[in-house]
Structure 1
Amino acid sequence: MASSFPAPRPSSPEEVDALHRLILQSLEDDQAVETISIPLAGKSSIADHMVIASGRSTRQVASMAVKLAEKIKAEVGRTPRIEGLPTADWVLIDAGDVIVHLFRPEVRTFYNLERMWAFGDAPPAPAAASQPGA
Structure 2
Amino acid sequence: MADIASEKQATDIIVTDVRGISSITDYQVVLSADNTRLARAILDEVTEKLKKEGQRPLHSEGIGPDQDWLIVDYGPVMMHVFTPEKRTLFDFDRLWPAAKTVLALQ
Interval containing the TM-score (normalised by the shorter chain): 0.7 to 0.9
In the comparison of the two structures, how many residue pairs are matched? 100
Contact 2:18-2:100 at 8 Å conserved across structures: no
Q: Which has the higher contact order (CA 8 A, sep 6+)?
A: 2
Q: Which residue of 1 aligns with 2:33?
A: 55
Q: Which residue of 2 aligns with 1:73?
A: 51
Between Structure 1 and Structure 2, whose CA radius of gyration is higher?
A: 1
Hey, which of these two has a bigger chunk of helix by percent?
1
TM-aligned CA distance change 1:46 to 1:121, over 3 Å = same
Moved over 4 A (4+): none
Hey, which of these two has a bigger chunk of strand by percent?
2
- Give the gaps of 5 or more residues in structure 2: 102-106
TM-aligned CA distance change 1:72 to 1:118, over 3 Å = farther
TM-aligned CA distance change 1:47 to 1:120, over 3 Å = closer
Residue identity in the other structure for 2:72: I
State, as a whole percentage, how many aligned pairs show the same letter: 33
User: Please, what TM-score do these two structures have when normalized by structure 1?
Assistant: 0.67
State the Cα RMSD in Å: 2.0
Stretch deviating more after TM superposition (104-113 or 76-85): 76-85
Residue identity in the other structure for 1:110: L
Match of 1:95 among 51, 74, 81: 74
